[in-house]
């Protein structure tokens, strides 16, 4: 992998990731951009004990532009986008409208492909491997940033999820705190260790799912994908490396080599859940990584959570009163049935 850092016209960092060592990335950003002005503020909720980000400047962010004005396509034919080059493989750059900035963290955009009409599932294994390399490198880079406690790599796909740009892309957040969801996992980790006399919650959970088998979607030598026993979403899959590691940087060569085939297969199954003729399945794909300074860091297990808000053909799962008001999820699809469906739509060998 070749990494080429540069700067956009307003000073934001942009990094090209290429599979070829002889790739040349020297296009300058000619746009007359003003310096980015942000107003991110983190406020503490005294009742719940969590943090809320207030980012009023995001009200003016780009919203569903036409394809010929997409800011994530390469700069071509006299039209200049966020990416100065006329072609690319993978690009990461600082978000122009970040939720987190300065002392309040950092937000980056990850472009997986220059093809506006593609999706992650359309990538080749080599292209997916390069994205994994980029995620890993950004985790390492952000780990060195003062004040960043946790790195979150994720992808939102589909207007139903709230995506405002149709071009296939993801994001990376560098939080200056440990997220509430991770705090809950760490609390459960502590309780399980105390209850079992030293057992690791993540190891025991994956072992239980592999032994049961009813909710396993696919299992290889280096990865296990399963629908969790208490899935919150209609179709939800958790993907764990066989060897527990705290973050992407610690994946071994075997897991890194096998990941593209496993992940692409999961995404393609998601697009086949509801049958032919259905629009692409909206989803969120979220990497959970250990906070950098937590003493339980080595006990945490890197994993990816992939889920959709579509519960059946033409119908979405909305977070209504119980979910939004009390954080008690009600799932219409039994996890065992979801796993069975995801096995049924496996790619033909």
Question: pLDDT tens-digit profile of 267-291?
Answer: 999 999 998 888 899 999 999 999 9
Residue 72: closest CA among 87, 60, 83: 83
pLDDT score for 170: 98
- Where in the chain do CATH 3.30.428.10 domains reside? 2-32+42-175, 180-344
CATH (residue range 2-32+42-175): 3.30.428.10
Q: Residue 150: CB partners within 8 Å, gap ≥ 6?
A: 174, 175, 177, 178, 179, 182, 289, 290, 291, 292
Residue given tokens 């569903």 in the structure block: 64
pLDDT score for 64: 79
Active-site residues, by number, are 169
pLDDT score for 349: 63
In the predicted model, residues of the chain with pLDDT beneath 50 are none
Number of alpha helices (DSSP H) and beta strands (DSSP E) in the chain:
6, 15
Give the SS3 label for residue 49.
Answer: coil
| Total Cβ atoms within 10 A of residue 332 | 9
Centroid of chain to Cα 310: 18
CATH (residue range 180-344): 3.30.428.10
Structure tokens that stand for 226 in this block = 């399963």
Quote the pTM value.
0.96
CA distances from residue 333 to 227, 295, 317, 319 in whole angstroms, order as listed:
11, 37, 10, 15
């Amino acid at each position: 992998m070749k990494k080429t850092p540069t700067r956009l016209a307003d000073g934001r960092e942009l990094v090209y990731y290429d599979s070829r060592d002889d790739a040349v990335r020297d296009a300058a950003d000619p746009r007359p951009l003003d310096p980015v002005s942000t107003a991110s503020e983190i406020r503490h909720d005294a009742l719940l004990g969590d943090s809320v980000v207030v980012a009023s400047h995001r009200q003016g962010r780009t919203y569903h532009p036409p394809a010929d004005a997409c800011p994530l396509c390469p700069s071509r034919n006299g039209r200049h986008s966020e990416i100065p080059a006329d072609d690319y493989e993978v690009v990461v750059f600082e978000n122009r409208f970040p939720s987190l900035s300065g002392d309040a963290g950092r937000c980056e955009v990850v472009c997986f492909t220059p093809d506006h009409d593609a999706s992650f599932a359309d990538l080749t294994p080599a292209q997916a491997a390069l994205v994994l390399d980029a995620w890993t490198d950004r985790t390492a880079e952000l780990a060195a940033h003062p004040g960043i406690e946790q790195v979150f790599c994720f992808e939102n796909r589909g207007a139903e999820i709230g995506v405002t740009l149709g071009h296939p892309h993801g994001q990376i957040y560098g939080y200056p705190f440990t997220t509430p969801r991770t705090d809950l996992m760490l609390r459960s980790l502590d309780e399980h260790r105390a209850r079992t006399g030293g057992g690791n919650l993540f190891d025991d959970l994956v072992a239980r799912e592999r032994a049961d088998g009813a909710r396993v979607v696919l299992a290889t030598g280096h990865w296990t994908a399963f629908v969790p026993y208490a899935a919150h979403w209609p179709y939800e899959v958790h993907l764990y490396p066989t060897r527990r590691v705290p973050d992407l940087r610690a994946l071994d060569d075997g897991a890194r080599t096998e990941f593209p085939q496993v992940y692409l297969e999961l995404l393609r199954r998601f697009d086949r859940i509801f049958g032919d003729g259905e629009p692409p399945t909206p989803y969120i794909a979220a990497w959970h990584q250990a906070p950098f300074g937590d003493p339980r860091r080595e006990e945490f297990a890197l994993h990816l959570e992939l889920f959709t808000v579509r519960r059946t053909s033409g119908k979405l799962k909305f977070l209504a009163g119980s979910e939004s008001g009390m954080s008690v999820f009600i799932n219409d699809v039994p996890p065992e049935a979801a796993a069975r469906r995801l096995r049924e739509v496996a790619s033909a060998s």
